[in-house]
Each structure stands twice: as C-alpha cells, then as structure tokens.
Chains A and B, each alone.
Chain A
Amino acid sequence: MSSTLLEQKQTPKPRIITTELRLTDKVFRGVVTGGGLISLTLLGLIGFFLVYNGFEAMRSAGMAFLTGFEWVDAVPENNQPAAYGIGAMLYGTVVTGILAMIIGVPIAVGTALFLSYYAPAWLKKPMVVVVDVMAAIPSIVYGLWGYFVLMPHAEYWAKLIHKYFGFIPFFDMPAPVFTRSPFIASLVLAIMITPIITAIAREVFAQTPLERIQAAYALGATKWSMIKAVVFPYGRGGVVGGAMLGLGRALGETVAVYTVLNLVYDIRIEVLLSAGGNVASMIVNKFGEADFVELQALMAAGFVLFLVTLIVNFIANYIINKTARE
C-alpha cells in the first residue's frame, strides 16, 4: 500500500523533446550556415595569414615590438640591427581614436536627437539620406578635403586652443608647427565616424517606447526633460555601442589619417603638435619599400591592429546586444 503511494509520488524525468526538420528547412539551414561559416573562416584566415607572416618579427622583438618607439631597418655597414617597435604608432592610434570620439560622439548624438525629435518632417528624410551618404564617401576624399580645406582652418583653431588652454599639457606646444597634428587627424576621423554613430543612435532613439514618452509628457515634461528622462536611459547602450563601432573604424582608418597626419616615431602628449602616429598609416607608409624582414614586422603590426579593432568591435556588439535584450 505504502509502496504504491510512494511510486505514485515519483516525479517523472523531463522528456527529451526533439524536432525533425523538413527537407526544405534542412536545405535552408545548410545554406545560411555555410554563409555564416564563410565569413568566420575568412576572418580566421586573415588572422592566421597575419600571424603566420608576422610571427618571426614578433618573436625576435618580443614585447619590445609593442613597447618600442623605433622603426629602423638593419644597416649592415654600421653593424646596426633592425629594430621594429610599434609603441608610438599604437599610442598615436589610440589618441587619435579617443580624440575623434570626444569630438564626434556629441555631434552624432546631437544630430540623432535633432533627426528623431526636432527636425521638421520635410527636412528629416533628406537629412537622413545625407548622413548615410556621408558614411559612403571614400576615405581618401576625406583625407584630401581634410588636407586642403579643413587644415588651414583647423590650424587656426589649434592656435586658439594653444593660446587659451596651453597651460594644459595636452595643448602645450614645443615647436610652432600646427599642421598635420593628431588634433587635425582626429577632426577628420570625427567627421568620418559621425555618420555611423548618428545612424545607430537615431535607430535606438526612434525605438524609444511611445508609452514612456507619453508618460513623461503627461507629467508636464518639456521636450528636453523628456529626452533626459526617457530617451537617454533607453538609448544609452545603443549610443555606447555605436560609439564603439565608430572607434573601431577610427582605429583602423588608414588613408585619411595618412594624408593629414605627420607620422613621427615618438610618444608625445601634445596633440596640437605636428607629430603623431597611426598603425594603419604607418603600414601604408612603409609597405612600398619594405624588404622581407620589415614586411614581416609590418604584418605583425597589422595583426596587432586587427586584434585591437576586433576587440573593440566585439565590445561594441556585446553592448548593443545587451541593450537590445533589455
């Protein structure tokens, strides 16, 4: 009697639920899986190619490859060995990237807010198109425009900044050469990354739930206080993710920076000075006349840049996805 009771009380094990896909579903799954795998494979192959070719350079230089400031070829006559270090270039890349964010993100967020909540309907659509087209302009065009049009003005702004904020070490000026500085390169980068950040910010701002917007307005909110209370908290993650995507682009940008930046193998904190660094630009700069050993070092530099941008993009995707889930 008691044993039957006991048996009745036993909870069953969870069943294993399986689904047999139809043939059409299987075919489609194969096609899309293949597509996904191809891009993953490509990414892996590129990484492998860079590691394979650059490994020797990285091995011989060790950590000095990341921390060294020098990039000199071997000169056998003087018994001088080759020294390849991308420290200064890496530093310059980060500085221009961050500066570009500082300049570009507020512009992008402002543009996105304007487009989402302030622009009249007749202006909104054409402006969205214009901003999107900005993202499609080749970077060499930005570089040339930056060199010939922006730089003369930016030089003047740099002088003003130096004059009034020169006491801040960043804006100090050891030599009065204001052209081709990290500051100007960052301006060009900021303009280049604004469209993508704007597009993503606009997208998340537009998804702000109407009920929350109405709730804020119904409480007597002004438009600005509504945006602060509802739109920003909702869109924060998307904007951060968009900014990281922009940063990824800024870090990897090559030609535009090469055009407007004076590459100097030294770490300087003065951003207005005509001396900066950028890994991608350096690779372009050295690639044409590199011998075999230097080429290996360039490959290694490319691998470091590849890793950095990959990490930044992963973080960006993570933030965007996390926000989307919330």
Chain B
Amino acid sequence: MSSTDGKNTNNDREETMSQVTGKQSRAIQDPSTIKQPVATHSLSDVASARRAKFGQPTNGSTGLEAKGVHAWFGKKHVLEDISLDFYTGTVNALIGPSGCGKSTFIRILNRMHEFIPTASLAGQVLLDGKDVYESGVDVTKIRLRVGMVFQKPNPFPSMTIRENVLSGLKLAQIKIENSDELLESCLRRAGLWDEVKDRLSEYGGALSGGQQQRLCIARSLAVNPQVLLMDEPCSALDPGSTLRIEETIRELSSSMSIVIVTHNMQQAARVSDYTSFFLSDGGPGRLIESGTTAEIFTNPKQKRTEDYVSGKFG
C-alpha cells in the first residue's frame, strides 16, 4: 500500500467513524491529531491517527474483563495470569506470534475453550461484573452476549443467506416479529446488504470468501451481542474483503466492544483502540504489554513489544 493511499484511508476512516459514532468529535476537533502531516506511512503513524476512545463504562456497563486467567491443555500450561479489561465501545487487538495463546484467550472469553476435551482454566472472566464461569451460569446466554467470528468463514451451508443471518435467533430459541427489519439491519451493519439484497434465498455457501465472512458477522449481530470476538477474521481473505471487514469493525465499534486477534500489524494499527501484546518464550503465553494502540505502536514500554511491532521477530 502506498503512503498516499494509506493516508486517504485514514482520513476516510476518521470521517466514517465520526459519522457513525459521533464519539470521535473530540478527535476531529483536536488539530494535532487530524492535521498532523503524515510523511511516511509507518505503523506508528497509522496508530497515532486513530485516537483511542478512552473507554468509559457506558450505560453502567463495565464490559468484559479477564482476571488472572490461566489456561492448560492437558498438563501443558498455555496461558499465564492474563488480566485484561475490554471497555464497552472499543476495539481491542490482540497481537503476538503464533502459539502465544491469543486464540486460546479469546475462546476463553465466551466459553468456547471448554469444547477442547483436555482444556482447563483458572481465573475469572467477568461480563458486567459477573463471572461467566460461575457454576449455574447458562452458557448459551453468555455466548449470546459475547458473539464470535472465526478465522475461517463458516456459514451454515444448508441454510440460505436469510436463514443464516437469523440462525442465531432460531438456535437460541428467540422469537421476534420484524425479522425482515432485523435481517436488513444486520446485513447493512456487516456491509453486505447491497451485495446480497436480491439473493437472500440463495445458499450461504454460494458467496465469496469475504462475503461469507461478512455473512458470519451479520449472523453474530442478529442476536445483538455486547461483545464481538474475532479470531483472525481476515486471515483467509483478500485485501479488498479485508478492507470491507475493517470498515465493518469500525462501524460496529460504536455499539459494542470488539476483541480481535490478528497477525496483521497494519490491521491492528488501523482498527483498534487498544492493543495487547502476547508472547510465549516456549512456556505459557504471557501478556507482555497492553495499552492504547498509539502507545503500543509508537512508544512501547517493553523492548520485546517494540521488536515485535517493528517486525524484528514474530
């Protein structure tokens, strides 16, 4: 990507954000942020251009919080003492080399971790202050509130596009009246409506990979989650689709918090407000550093973070 292109994208995005959320007015008014000349298109510039929404609990919600999370597969300790706070209305990127436990961590957040037979964990995951692993918690309700988009697009092939989007309601046995409205709004928010509005009764598998992934995002939106977890959602997609999904992520972040695992530094810098860097030195994965995305990419406190974000290893 050339530097001019990148700059345009940044500005576009800022505008989109302000239109959608109205929360960015502070950033727009701040001349130091928006007028800053971007000479070279480095990650730190990208990251700086995006001002973190310093998360404040909205509507009395403290969002999602991990407290002292450890994880094991069998006897193998894969995550050690991870504490992270995800504020409502923010995009949080988890970065780090393969095998550092990012995916394990994100799956712990909506209790998908327990599907792996030997998996176990310690610590707490608090959703609005309540531990999701407490006994007696209805796990299906947790997953309704904490949605997930997977690395590989996985629409239900036996269902049409329409049925796919509304499948969450059926699966969770939720009845609604204006399903057409919901269908359209979910597809619109996922940036897919214009492409599929005339072919809603086609099967989900007939779409391209990028469209399938946006269909999966639309599907997660239908149950109105307050957190959306994305596990490398763009790793199987072409750059154009990736761009569309990043736009979608930015638009969504106004109404929910998003946790995204990514191997793409550019992507982390482009879309996230906060970035957390995970690293494993052969042992369990640890949280090395966490902060606003601008901080992590321009002025990391840890040498290892700096090495990773500048591409010296990983």
Contacts and interface: CB of A to CB of B under 8 A. Distances in A.
Interface string A209-240: 10110111111111001100110011000000
Contact of B171 (A209, A229, A234): A229
Contacts of B157: 212, 233
B223 interface: yes
**Best-surrounded residue of B141, B152, B167, B223 (most CB of chain A within 10 A):** B167
Contacts of B152: 211
Question: Dominant SS at the A interface?
Answer: helix
A226 B167 CA distance: 10
A221 B160 CA distance: 18
Interface string B94-134: 00000000000000001010010100000000000000000
A214 B150 contact: yes
B172 A215 contact: no
B220 interface: yes
Contacts of A221: 140, 143, 171-172
B115 A216 contact: no
B171 A211 contact: no
Contact of A225 (B117, B147, B155, B170): B170
B91 interface: no
B170 to A, nearest CB: 7
B32 interface: no
Contact of A211 (B154, B159, B167): B154
B contact residues, range: 20 to 34
Given A214-B115, A230-B156, A220 B172 contact: yes
Contacts of B135: none
Contacts of A229: 156, 159, 167, 170-171
A63 B156 CA distance: 50
Nearest to B219: A219
B171 A219 contact: yes
B237 to A, nearest CB: 16
B140 A222 contact: yes
Given A218-B147, A219-B147, A212 B156 contact: yes
Given A225-B170, A225-B173, A218 B110 contact: yes
Contacts of A226: 171
B144 interface: yes
A279 B279 CA distance: 71
A229 B159 CA distance: 9
Contacts of B155: 215
**Best-surrounded residue of A209, A212, A219 (most CB of chain B within 10 A):** A219
A214 B144 contact: no
Pick the 8 closest A-B CB pairs, nearest first.
A233-B158, A220-B144, A221-B171, A219-B168, A218-B148, A220-B172, A211-B154, A220-B143
Interface of A: 121, 209, 211-212, 214-222, 225-226, 229-230, 233-234
Given A214-B148, A218-B148, A220-B171, 7 more contacts: A217-B143, A219-B143, A219-B144, A220-B143, A221-B143, A229-B156, A234-B158
